[in-house]
C-alpha cells in the first residue's frame, strides 16, 4: 500500500498558465485589432473636430448678422463680435473673417486646418453672409 501512495505523490504536478504559443496568438490578435481600430478612430476624430469648426463658423455667422443690425456693417474680426474661437477649434484650425468690399456689405468666415495638427489635409471650411457653405462635401 505504501508503493501506491508514493507513486501518486511523485506524479507530475499540474502546470497552470499559458504557453508561449498561446501568448503569441493573443499578441497577434490584439495587434490586428489595433491596426483596424486606430485608423478608424483617427478618421472619427478628424470628422468630430471638423464638426466643431463648422459649429464655430455658424456661431460667428449668426453673430455677424446681429452685428450688422447694430453697426450697419459686418465685423472685421472675431474680437469685434465680443466672442472668441473655442480652444479646441483653435488647436486645429485658423479661423478668420474676411469682410467683402463695397455695398452691400458681405463677409466670409474661413477655417483653415493647421498643417502641423492632426487636421492637416482636411477641408478648408468657408461660410459667407448668404449662408453658402464650402466645400459642400465637408458640410
Q: What is the DSSP letter of 47?
A: H
- Please indicate, yes or no, if residue 88 is contained in any of the structural domains: yes
Q: What does the pLDDT read at residue 102? A: 75
pLDDT tens digits for range 91-116: 999 999 999 877 889 999 999 999 99
- Residue 11 in any domain: the answer is no
pLDDT tens-digit profile of 15-39? 778 899 999 999 999 999 999 999 9
In-domain check, residue 74:
yes
pLDDT of residue 17: 83
- Average pLDDT rounded to a whole number, residues 112-131: 96
User: Per the domain annotation, does 45 fall within a domain?
Assistant: yes
Total of domains in the chain: 1
Which range of residues forms the domain containing residue 70? 18-134
pLDDT digit string, tens, across residues 43-91 = 999 999 999 999 999 999 999 999 999 999 999 999 999 999 999 999 9
Query: What pLDDT shows up at residue 16?
Result: 79
pLDDT higher than 60, residue 5: no
Residue 139 lies in a domain: no
pLDDT at position 101 is 79
**How would you class 110 by CB atoms within 10 Å of its CB: exposed for 0-12, middle for 13-18, buried for 19 or more?**
middle
32 within a domain of the structure (yes/no): yes
Indicate whether 26 belongs to any domain: yes
13 in a domain, yes or no?
no
Amino acid at each position: 500500500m505504501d508503493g501506491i501512495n508514493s507513486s501518486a505523490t511523485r506524479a507530475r504536478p499540474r502546470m497552470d498558465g499559458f504557453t508561449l504559443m498561446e501568448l503569441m496568438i493573443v499578441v497577434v490578435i490584439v495587434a490586428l485589432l489595433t491596426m483596424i481600430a486606430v485608423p478608424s478612430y483617427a478618421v472619427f476624430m478628424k470628422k468630430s473636430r471638423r464638426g466643431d469648426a463648422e459649429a464655430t463658423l455658424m456661431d460667428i455667422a449668426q453673430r455677424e448678422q446681429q452685428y450688422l443690425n447694430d453697426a450697419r456693417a459686418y465685423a472685421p474680426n472675431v474680437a469685434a463680435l465680443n466672442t472668441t474661437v473655442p480652444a479646441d477649434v483653435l488647436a486645429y484650425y485658423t479661423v478668420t473673417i474676411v469682410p467683402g468690399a463695397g455695398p452691400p456689405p458681405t463677409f466670409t468666415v474661413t477655417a483653415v486646418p493647421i498643417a502641423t495638427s492632426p487636421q492637416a489635409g482636411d477641408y478648408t471650411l468657408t461660410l459667407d453672409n448668404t449662408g453658402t457653405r464650402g466645400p459642400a462635401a465637408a458640410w
